Amino acid sequence: MSWEQKRVWIIVKTYPEYSRRSRGEVACTAGITEEGNWIRLYPISTKHYIGDNKVRKFDLVEVTCQKAESEKLGRKESYKVKAGSDITVIDHSLSGAPNSKIWDKRNKLILDKVDPSLSHLDQKYKEDKTSLGLIKPKEVLKFYNRRELEIYTDPKEYRQGIDGSKTPVIQKIPYPFAYRFKCSDGCLTCSNGSHDILCEDWELLEAYRRWGHEYGTPRSYGKSYTTSFTHGC
């Protein structure tokens, strides 16, 4: 299968993980193509998400990729990013400081893709391996930590690429945070009337790591963190 160029609006970035095959930290990224389809891009080196020219959420980028035919799960949105290829930012206009005009444009991009429920997405997966979707909760019941919060110090280590570039080593952090929410009245998979889903968002985990330095103890910064994000839901 040949490589192709796709233009993608970046919507979600998971917290990085180390890849032996890529010999460095990589992130799984979900976005929407210019044609309006969900796409999963993996692996993307973290070097593209760090520095002055980094790729941000809601940027439109051009990426060299091909359908991930060898993926065991066979998810229809999965594409493999070509190793060593550039990711070019085409449009920064939606990744600027949030304001009402920018959010109006973001909403036009994503809100027509809202699925009615998680059970609806489960059924689509059984039918055609659909594995990406957008849910607008009927009610967010709780944003909480499933495990004890910790302080993570910055290791300040770098990994050198074969091209001579140096990329900061991303500290491995277990996913501690989860959302509990009601999906919709017609959802068939709500357990006890709600869903409980782990959050793997990069920005969330980086804020958790960084705020540990600012607040000093898990107890003090954890309370502030949970309060701020609960209010933001």
Report the percent of the chain where pLDDT is more than 70: 85
CB of 5 within 8 A of CB of 60? no
- Binned at pLDDT 50, 70 and 90, residue 222 comes out as very low
The answer to whether residues 128 and 221 belong to one domain is: yes
Q: Whose CA is closest to 90, among 45, 47, 44, 33?
A: 33
Q: Rounded to an integer, what distance in angstroms lies between the CA atom of residue 39 and that of residue 81?
A: 11
3-state secondary structure of 192: coil
Residue tagged 């990711």 (tokens): 87
Q: Is the peptide bond before 43 cis (omega within 30 degrees of 0)?
A: yes
Domain for residue 71, yes or no? yes
How much is the pLDDT for 229?
A: 36
Identify the domain boundary among 41, 74, 91: 91
* Position 103 in a domain: no
Is there a single domain that holds both residue 68 and residue 162? no
Same domain, 122 and 228: yes
In this structure, are 53 and 139 located in the same domain?
no
Phi and psi (nearest 5°) for 48? -75, -15
Domain count, the chain: 2
Model pLDDT for residues 122-171, shown as the tens digit of each residue: 999 999 999 999 998 999 999 998 888 888 776 677 666 666 666 667 77
| Least confident window among 15-19, 96-100, 150-154 | 150-154
In the structure, what pLDDT confidence band is assigned to residue 226 with cuts at 50, 70 and 90? very low
Q: Is residue 218's pLDDT more than 70?
A: no
Encode pLDDT of 116-135 as tens digits. Answer: 899 999 999 999 999 999 99
- On whether residue 51 sits in a domain, the answer given is yes
Domain region containing 143: 118-232
Q: Is residue 198 part of a domain?
A: yes
Across the chain, the runs of DSSP E, i.e. the strands, are 4-13, 17-19, 24-33, 38-45, 60-67, 78-81, 88-91, 114-115, 134-135, 139-145, 158-160, 166-168, 177-182, 195-198
36 and 73 share one domain: yes
Write down the pLDDT at residue 134.
94
129: left (phi over 0), alpha (psi -120 to 50) or beta: left
Taking only the tens place, the pLDDT of each residue in 52-95 is 778 999 999 999 999 998 898 999 999 999 988 999 999 999 99
- Helix or strand holding residue 103 (H, E): helix 100-110
Report d(CA 204, CA 175) in Å as an integer: 10
Is the pLDDT at 216 greater than 90? The verdict is no
Asked if residue 174 and residue 211 are part of one domain, the reply reads yes
Are 76 and 153 part of one and the same domain? no
Please check whether residues 77 and 129 belong to one and the same domain.
no
Residues 80 and 130 in one domain: no
Tell whether 112 is covered by a domain: no
Grouping H, G, I as helix, E, B as strand and the rest as coil, residue 222 is: helix
Do 85 and 128 fall into the same domain?
no
106 within some domain: no
